[in-house]
Structure 1
């Protein structure tokens, strides 16, 4: 089933900020015992919104903008049914929250007026659906696992623990002297009456069509990127003879690489120790994909342009295709020059960027955030930062986020769900708000906030720097991926400065880590099989 991550960001009337915060706290107290000791039953939300994995309601105070009320949700299925379920569960509360917000000036204004009018009974779901933001980047740590499946397999795991612990009836355990194959057979026979679904084939986590679509979108993005970067070469080649074109490209490339050599060194006090090398990364990871993308671009571009050239020049199709392939090949050769020029421009901007060495953090808000953290194995964070201005920054954040998003849809599958070498993230996403002038980040993760960011800093600092380096005040970066988040203390303070208290946060499986979800999945997959080979059983039993 499709998993959906989305958010709704609404501007709040400044005078209503405290009132809205109080309403969200009251909802938390009624709906959940976690975090920090609410008064209501935790399971209430479980029954009324049966598709949701995680849900948060936050209010971000604004210094450059009015406060921002954000609904962040991760659920199974399409947005329409989810919004209807949410309205059925907390409709009166949602209406009260919206009355603290400003009326939007776009086409959704009439919907807002209808929903917030006195004694209104107009449905809220259409307005929330109309205001939904599409994430620019998102990651699902347990992709393809529906909430019901996670809960069912969690119950199965507890049942296996109980069976192994209490099946001895006061004597020695009957599982003690069994082989892994025999343990599997006996355990399956004991649990099958209680969990009849073990006799049914498990649905695929990621259907084949979805997998092919992910790879196809990544390939199309690579082709489009090569085409965009080759446009200057296409123009120059149409005006210059090939010897002049080659000389110009070589001269510009030499000029840009010389400038990069001088500008590429870190400014005093901004370098961080790293073994990362652009040359090594290119040779090990990018050389083959780039060569394939360039070759595919030449072939595809020639096929697309050949019919037009054939009609214009009255050439046979294959002769026209050959002409276009030669032209596309020459233009693709200029991509390295264009990339080098863009890197010079980027590095010129990076050397002049301002960063915050000691971002201010409200001590009262910091205490309130700390008070609500670490009540269960999971935690939640939300952040909103200003985006650096400029044409190049705008292009980088749009193309960079799109490419990172498409890559994240492919990489975890090849690394068994890990993001880099981490498996502490359930759901995370970035989105742009306030007419693309601010970047919003939300994450539902395991362990403490400190250890979560330490994981990112140590294991995925390049990707984190790429995604967040466009934020105003971000620690100094080099070429989008170096330094940046590796400035551990400075980055953590900058992140804390951008965060707000999660007034209401809900988890459907509050005792499960992302790793435990995968462990339960592997156990369930083994028990679904009527028989395991000795090798399969030996591997499967490690998860018990």
Structure 2
């Protein structure tokens, strides 16, 4: 089943900020007297919203804008049923919260009026569904694992603990004298009566159709990007002789390279040593790059030849040869276009302002700290202003789109590279795309979470967040930036707000434990294992 991540961001009437905050605190306090959760009305989420993994309700104070009320949700399945289930669970509370929000000025105004009027009984779900934001980038840690499957496999794991511990309380444990394959067979036989689903094949976490779609979207994005970068060359090739065209490309490329050589170095005090290298990346991806160019030509020629024949009335042979020549001329311009964009970007980066000591409200910091680290999981939300300019507008949208498509390919086994702490995370743009919003549900402390990112994925983190006003100095969109560990963490803290209401369907499970439970369940679904396979499988017990 498909997993869905979304958020709803609603502007709050300034005079209602404190009241909305108190409503969120009241809802949170109603869940349990225990800060880590437990019994009480809050547990209704487990039955009334059966597909929900994580959810947060936050209100961000207004500095440059009015306050913002954000509903963040991560769940299984389609949006429509989820909103209906959520309204069934906390509809009256949501209606009170929406009355603290400003009336939208677009076509949703009448719908908003119908749900916040005195004694209103109109459903809330349609309004929330209309205002839901699509993430620009998102990551699902345990991708393809429904909430029910996570809970069922954890129950299986707990049952293995009991069986292995209590197999023979009054004597030696019988499992100690068995071979690995015999341990697997005996444990499976003991657990099968209580977990009949072990006799059924495991649902695929990523169906073939989704796999094909992920690759198709990424390939389509790269092809579109290359074509866009080759447009200047495609236009110039129609109006310039061949020799002058290539002379122009050579002169332009050398000019950009010379200027980048002067301004490409880090400004004093902003450079951070890193293992990331564009040159190393280029040579590592040289073969895929050559294969892609060939594929690009095949696809572009297949699409362009019929169009050329239609508009020019040329024969197939003439149109085919002409299209290849034209596309090759465009490809020759791509390095020059890239060099020009990089030069323009570097000029902007050198003039960017950054915050060396972002102000943090001590009261809010204490409140955030008080709500963290009660369980193995934590939550954070952040909103930052986006730097202005047409180049930044294009790069942040293209960068986020490309990063999101890459994550769908490389982060499929519950982990983001070597990081094993993220459950669900996403970025989205709000306020007419003038602000960038980030939410994450993760394991361990906030400090260790960001340290993990800074050490292992600083390039991707810089790409995703470098558009934020006050972000630490960057180079070429991915270098430095988040590698400024202390400065980046202070900047991130400055942009955060208190997670006043946060829900986790499996609050004691880490992302790593979910994958461990999955591997154990996969092994127990198999009727037999060889001694070699069973010995590897036993490592997770």
Fold equivalence (TM over 0.5)? yes
> Which residue does 1:172 correspond to in 2?
172
Is the partner of 2:442 in helix, strand or coil? strand
Change in CA separation of 1:502 and 1:473 when aligned onto 2, cut-off 3 Å: same
Any idea what SS the aligned residue of 1:213 has?
Answer: helix
Looking at structure 2, the residues matched to 376 and 224 of structure 1 have their Cα atoms a distance apart, in angstroms, of 45
* Structure-to-structure mapping, 1:135-154, within 5 angstroms: 135-154=135-154
- Asked whether the equivalents of residues 6 and 72 of structure 1 are also in contact (C-alpha less than 8 Å), the reply is yes
Equivalence for 1:466: 463
Q: Contact 1:52/1:74 (CA < 8 Å) preserved in 2?
A: yes
Q: CA deviation at 1:38?
A: 8.4
2:248: which partner in 1? 248
1:285-300 aligned within 5 A: 285=285, 287-300=286-299
Indicate how the Cα distance of structure 1 residues 422 and 436 shifts in structure 2: closer, same or farther if over 3 A, else same: same
- Post-superposition Cα deviations, 1:390-410, rounded to whole Å, max 9, x if no partner, equal 000000011000000100000
TM-aligned CA deviation for residue 381 of structure 1 = 0.2
* 1:20-35 superposed matches below 5 A: 20-32=20-32, 35=35
- 1:455 counterpart (435, 452, 455): 452
CA distance in 2, matches of 1:226, 1:32: 54
Unaligned 5+ residue runs, structure 1? none
Residue from 509, 513, 520 that aligns with 1:512: 509
Per-residue CA deviations over 1:106-162 (Å, capped at 9, x if unaligned) read 111111000000000000000000000000000000000000000000000000001
Cα displacement string for residues 146-180 of structure 1 (whole angstroms, at most 9, x for unaligned residues):
00000000000000001000111221101011111
TM-score (norm 2): 0.98
- The correspondence for 1:498, drawn from 480, 495, 510, is 495
Query: What's the C-alpha RMSD, in Å, of the aligned pairs?
Result: 1.2
- Could you list the per-position Cα deviations for residues 222-249 of structure 1 after superposition, in whole angstroms to 9, with x for gaps in the alignment? 0000010000000111111111111110
Contact 1:397 1:470 survives alignment (8 Å): yes
CA pair 312-197 structure 1, distance change in 2 beyond 3 A: closer
- Distance in 1 (alpha carbons) for counterparts of 2:34 and 2:305: 63
Q: What residue number does 2:539 align with?
A: 542
Decide whether the 8 Å contact of 1:463 with 1:481 is kept in 2: yes
CA distance in structure 1 between the partners assigned to 2:368 and 2:132 by the alignment: 26
Aligned length: 541
Partner SS state of residue 177, structure 2: coil
Matched residue, 2:56? 56
Structure 1 residues 311 and 97: alpha-carbon distance in aligned structure 2, compared to 1, 3 A threshold: closer
CA distance in 2, matches of 1:496, 1:506: 21
Report if aligned partners of 1:33, 1:41 keep a CA contact under 8 Å in 2: no
Contact 2:252 2:336 in 1 (8 A): yes
Deviation (angstroms), 1:296: 2.4
Quick one: distance in 2 between partners of 1:54 and 1:32? 17
Distance 1:32 1:54, change over 3 A: farther
Aligned partners of 1:150 and 1:517 also within 8 Å? yes
SS in 1 for 2:46: helix
In structure 2, C-alpha distance between the alignment counterparts of 1:38 and 1:193, rounded to whole Å: 29
The alpha-carbon deviation at position 293 of structure 1 amounts to 3.0
Deviation at 1:37, TM superposition (A): 6.9
Instruction: For 1:293 and 1:47, locate their aligned partners in 2 and report how far apart those are by CA, in whole Å.
Output: 48
